Structure 1
Amino acid sequence: MDVPICMLLFGHLLTVAKYSAQIYREIAKQRITASLESSPALWLPSQEI
């Protein structure tokens, strides 16, 4: 197991970036859902109001 330190760091950074992207997507989804619930008239077509 003679892996360079830079390769280990790079793999760690990729993993962290992947997880933070998933977390960010979840937060964005929750924010969008909350704003949809607080102002549905902006998002629904005018027929449904």
Structure 2
Amino acid sequence: MTSRRPRIAFVCDQSLKESLERWAEEESRTLSNLVELICKNAVENKEKKDKSA
């Protein structure tokens, strides 16, 4: 049995979606994978900042 990963949905402007799609295409990633990577990096950066404060 395959475990499913949690899903998150969000709303954004069409222009942001198009920019993210182009970025994902340039890196040969899915849009979902790119957004996950961006979020993961943002959380890691915030946690580092919080520890140093």
Task: Give TM-score, length-normalised by structure 1.
Answer: 0.49
Q: Which has the higher contact order (CA 8 A, sep 6+)?
A: 2
Task: Give TM-score, length-normalised by structure 2.
Answer: 0.46
Higher-Rg member (1/2): 1
Structure that is richer in helix per residue: 1
